A and B are shown apart, each in its own frame.
Chain A
Amino acid sequence: MKAWTLRREPFPGPPKPANDASAVPAEAPSIRTRLAVTIAVYGALAVATCVLAPLVGSTQISLARVFDRSTPFADNVDAQIFFVARMPRVLSGAVVGATLASAGVVMQALLRNPLATPFTLGVSAGAALGAILVITFSTAVSLGALSPVPLASLGGALLASAIVYGLATRPGRTMSTMVLLLAGVTLNSFFSALILFVQYMADFTQTYRTVRWLMGDLDVGSFGPIVASLPLVLVAFAMFAVLPRSLNLLSVGTDAASTRGVDVGRTQRLAFLSSSLATSAAVSLAGPIGFVGIVVPHLVRLMVGVDHRIVLPASALFGAAFLVGCDLVARTVLAPVEVPVGVVTAMLGGPFFLWLLVRRS
């Protein structure tokens, strides 16, 4: 497999064995400063988007009335719009955007392929199958804040991840990215066939609703579903946190990485599990919103270079801002009719990505 085209620039900082503690102080100041600057800049962007987005919508609301304690919440329309309609939407957009963008970065490094997305390995197809089964057969099983459709899509996503993981790992050996890719792509097609079959057998209205689910939707209605997704998201981000240095070396090639002291098998497993968990949580919360996981990592690399220690946090923050922004467009541009957020991300992301491809090739 060819090393991917965006990796032409040399790594910033000399590649050092990951367990060589003595090497850290020499390069630490520069990377620390860069990281701090990156987090400050992208963090400010994400925070600004998340603060401003709830103030804008299809209707005008008054902030004074939103926080007016003298009116009971049940009677305060402005407060309801702010806290029931907009805040959960913006927060779920931030969580899903950050999660999908980071998962995209990790997946592209793991598969050493610039076209990899969080959905490449069948996670979203598994989620879609779960959701579509529940929509078609009107199952009413729920678990806490997880209503039937998110619950089933989470189950489907985790099942798909487990199947791909089981196929691609052999005890004591490194994963073959080729097997991973083939297993994932095949599983994707297989699940897609099942989805088409279920849709074909379903009623028109159900088919229509499943198609709508596939376009993604951040209007979660309350904080419950977001909180329910957080445990998985937090575990995934904890795993992301230890990955960047190994991913830098891994993206050159598994052999090169292992000669420099990276435990390739462990890194691959960690990368696969973290991105799968993150993607499962995001898809179950908001459906398979496309393009965030592929466009944001590339866009961020254009701006900050290719070092995963910078790219990963920057992508998470930029992904949050990007998706919240796209959803803002989705809910206002044709109000009261909504544009599905997945359509907006693809419409904005697609042309940009093509431009990127043409420019780079």
Chain B
Amino acid sequence: MFLTFLGVLCGQNVFVALVAQERVATRIVSLVPALTEMLFVVGAGSQVVGVSSYDDFPPEVQSRPRVGALLDPDVERILSLKPDLVLAYGSQTDLVGQFARAGIRVYSYRHGGVGNGVGNVLQTIRELGALSGRKAEGDRVTAQLQARLDAVRARVRGRPRPRTMLVLGRDAMALRGIYASAGVGFLHELLDVAGAEDVFADVKRESIQPSNETMIVRAPQVIIELHAGDEPARDVLQKERAVWSLLSSVPAVRNGRVHLLYGGYLMSPGPRLASAAETLARVLHPDAFAEGDVKIRP
């Protein structure tokens, strides 16, 4: 009772508090790809009995049954896997109720919005470690990630911090439909760790769709595009980069500092965020990284 009360007071820590008295989850279904990654990284991969339709990392998830995702969770399928813990999105309130009635514990993951920062990711890893009976490993992984982030921050400390626009989406071959990271969320924080000022830091939202006018006025010194897919052929890559030449007054365009990065790890709010921070830092401050110092570990 006291523990629960304490948990309510501490918000997210409610799960850690409850775990102290509850049994360890041995059959876990994850509807959130980033959380699946966290389970694997704390060594609880063998306890994962079902994953979402979007899971693609680590490669072991390919062998797990798929049970839908945010919009289309397959409740029957999930129940048939006899889980003792389901990891769901915080917005899936109906689902949470359904599993509560079935007597299955649900971990509801807060995604998006103000709380979706690096701290939230690390805290979630710790909580999942505890829930899956691998508290020590969860703490160790979290400390390691924090150390890597601190190392990146230390390496770029004292260097000029370029005003950077982090582009999360754009229509193919055109400067249209652009989404950029704004002043809230883990990508915004990673940019800060990697030694850059977000040009949209003042916009307190996770993303913004800037018009061409806004981009010209904000005049970023560096533009970094993140793409979740694989790197395309060389000529396509060149054409995609060339669409920016339209905004020739933007310093990033004028100085050839438009970078297109590819890889699923770049946008995943999970254990690979330290790798994303390292990649961003290398792109932003290439001279701060002598060959082989900080490894890029996607």
Contacts and interface: CB of A to CB of B under 8 A. Distances in A.
Nearest to A150: B174
Given A74-B249, A221-B176, A135 B216 contact: no
Contacts of A335: 214
Given A59-B217, A77-B217, A203 B211 contact: no
B169 interface: yes
Contacts of A26: none
Interface string A219-231: 1111001000000
Contact of A147 (B172, B203, B208, B228): B172
Q: At the interface, is chain A mostly helix, strand, loop or mixed?
A: helix
A217 B218 CA distance: 20
Contacts of B229: 138
A170 interface: no
Contacts, number: 112
A63 to B, nearest CB: 16
Nearest to B69: A204
Contacts of A189: none
A58 B54 CA distance: 39
A148 B247 contact: no
Interface centre among B71, B176, B232 (most CB of A within 10 A): B176
B249 A77 contact: yes
A200 interface: yes
A85 B216 contact: yes
Given A74-B249, A209-B169, A213-B177, A219 B72 contact: no
30 contacts: A57-B213, A58-B211, A73-B248, A80-B248, A80-B249, A84-B212, A85-B212, A89-B212, A138-B172, A140-B173, A148-B171, A148-B173, A149-B171, A203-B54, A205-B168, A205-B169, A209-B177, A209-B179, A212-B209, A213-B177, A219-B211, A219-B212, A219-B213, A221-B174, A221-B175, A225-B174, A336-B203, A336-B218, A337-B203, A338-B211
Interface of B: 54, 70-72, 168-169, 171-177, 179, 200, 203, 205, 208-214, 216-219, 228-229, 232, 236, 239, 246-249, 254
Interface of A: 57-59, 73-77, 80-81, 84-86, 89, 134-135, 138-140, 142, 147-150, 200, 203-205, 209, 212-213, 217, 219-222, 225, 331, 335-338
